[in-house]
Structure 1
Amino acid sequence: MESHVHSPPIVRDDEQVAHIPGEGLAKGLAVTMRHMLRKSETQQYPEVHPDLPARSRGVIALVEENCTVCMLCARECPDWCIYIDSHKETLPAPEGGRPRARNVLDRFAIDFSLCMYCGICIEVCPFDALFWSPEFEYAEYDIRDLLHEKDRLGEWAATVPPPPAHEVGAEPPKELSAASRPAPARRTAPPAPANRPAAGASAAQEAEREPAAEPAKSAEGRPRREPPRAMRDIRSIRPPGSLPKKNGPSSPEKKDGPEGER
């Protein structure tokens, strides 16, 4: 018995496949209705502001009071987009002191057309003068207007969010744990018996009772200086003048007679 395999019909270019009228329109309306019943993910900005994370890198804010003009942020910036100018000011000397000189900040500007938002300036600042702010609405029509001075950077400091709280069950900072730790109790010496004087008091009383030894005087009446301890030890071991003679060839003894006179 022979088996016959039915192959799909071959559609030629000149032949047209029959379609149901309005089939494409129905598919499009079905997709539209399916998305209309879902919750919308689009936020109508600027009427609805986005809910940004706390550590969003929007813009760099400046706290002018903390800046000491150390120039560390300007030197470490890879784009060289931070410009700082300052002058020295002499403070009056306090009582018993000398006048001090400090740097006063005149200009602090950041060119955000060059900034690549790496955050190195914020990390290297040792005095917490720079912070990340989630503010991002500072677009300009002219690129030259993206150079913002310290007044504008100081306004953005008010938009810096507070640091996030610790997770539940996390260890507190070492500073707080050390401050809350009770101070160790000091050990006190046991009181001395009433009928027995203290060791320090008895030694002091005996020292007062004994007369002070008078220093030895020389023949001229002046006090004699005692030799150092090392010299005293040597003299106690071997008095002066008793050192052995050096080993050498013995001298010949004199003989009586004409041979000795030679």
Structure 2
Amino acid sequence: MSPLPGFPGSGLAKGLAVTLRTMTKKSVTAQYPDTQPALAPRTRGVIGLFEENCTVCMLCARECPDWCIYIDSHKETVPAATPGGRDRSRNVLDRFAIDFSLCMYCGICIEVCPFDALFWSPEFEYAETDIRELTHERDKLREWMWTVPAPPALDPAAEEPKELAAARKTADKLAAQAAARPDPHPGPQADPKGEDS
């Protein structure tokens, strides 16, 4: 509620007060290339690829609304681990590229990846003079992977998830029952004097 509700032009006076207050302050412009901006720890910059986790399931490429992820692979036969076993086949990643001229940074590819192969990197300086150079191959995506910050540590003061609490309670109950139950097959008792009779 305004202090002078009946005063005509009180809204104009408030607006002019803000103008006068900011008019006297010196404006500061951050000189970007010389001064790096302070980014939040989990900033959405570019997408990093952890190639070892990628199973070439193609889920990220299928779910991408911009169709900017390009994946090529081939099948490779792995010999049986045991004699008489069957040979296995597995997908091998040949090409993984993201066209950042098309990407809208929605993060769907990162969320649908079931194997944690894609992560947000805070890197944002990847401007190019040619639009065709904005398609980054897996080598560049792998370089960005090492700039991904570690996930935040668990809060020690947070309460335990219900699933873990229930599992722990069941395990404690089973351990208590096993400790209370007498041993059905007692082993040979040792002679306290160490003599055989």
Relative to the length of structure 2, the TM-score reads: 0.70
1:85 to 60, 67, 72: 72
Residue from 121, 124, 127 that aligns with 2:115: 127
Distance 1:161 1:176 in 2: 27
Identity %: 71
Work out the CA distance in 2 between the residues paired with 1:150 and 1:64: 8
1:188 and 2:176 correspond: no
2:25 aligned residue: 35
**Would the aligned equivalents of 1:85 and 1:107 in 2 still touch at CA under 8 Å?**
yes
Gaps spanning 5+ residues in structure 1: where? Answer: 1-30, 192-262
Contact kept, 8 Å, 1:54 with 1:164, in 2: the verdict is no
Q: Distance in 1 between matches of 2:101 and 2:107?
A: 15
Cα distance, 1:136–1:175 mapped onto 2, change above 3 Å: farther
Once the two structures are superposed, the pairs formed by residues 83-232 of structure 1 within 5 Å of their partners are 83-96=70-83, 97-167=85-155, 169-172=157-160, 183=172, 184-185=175-176, 186=178, 187-189=180-182
Instruction: Give 1:109 deviation, angstroms.
Output: 0.3
Change (3 A) 1:84 1:190: closer
Deviations 1:191-230, CA, capped at 9 Å, x for gaps: 7xxxxxxxxxxxxxxxxxxxxxxxxxxxxxxxxxxxxxxx
Gap runs ≥5 in structure 2: 1-22, 185-197
Q: Compare CA radii of gyration and give the structure with the larger one.
A: 1
Let me know the Cα RMSD of the aligned residues: 2.7
Give the CA deviation at 1:167: 4.5
Q: Could you tell me which amino acid in structure 1 is paired with residue 105 of structure 2? A: Y
Distance 1:90 1:168, change over 3 A: closer
2:58 paired residue number: 71
- Cα 1:160–1:180, aligned 2, differ >3 Å: closer, same or farther? farther
C-alpha separation between the residues in 1 aligned to 2:135 and 2:106?
A: 17
Tell me how far apart the structure 2 counterparts of residues 41 and 168 of structure 1 sit (CA, whole Å).
Answer: 41
SS in 1 for 2:144: helix
Give, as a single letter, the amino acid of the residue that structure 2 aligns with 1:131: F
When residues 108 and 168 of structure 1 are mapped into structure 2, their CA distance, relative to the original with a 3 A threshold, is same
- SS at the partner of 1:159? coil
- How far the C-alpha of 1:175 sits from its partner, in A, is 7.9
Match 2:45 to one of 58, 61, 64: 58
174-183 or 69-78, larger mean C-alpha shift: 174-183
Distance 2:51 2:126 in 1: 20
Tell me: CA distance 1:86–1:190, structure 2 relative to 1, closer, same or farther (3 Å).
closer
Cα separation, partners in 2 of 1:99 and 1:178, compared to 1, 3 Å:
farther
Q: TM-score, normalised by structure 1?
A: 0.54
More strand by share: 2
Closer/same/farther in 2, CA of residues 93 and 48 from structure 1, 3 Å limit: same
Highest RCO, 1 vs 2 (Cα 8 Å, sep ≥ 6): 2
Q: CA deviation at 1:50?
A: 1.3
Encode CA deviations 1:10-58: one digit per residue, 9 max, x unaligned: xxxxxxxxxxxxxxxxxxxxx5xx324xxx7533222221121122110
Map 1:223-242; keep pairs closer than 5 Å. Answer: none
| CA drift at 1:171 | 2.2
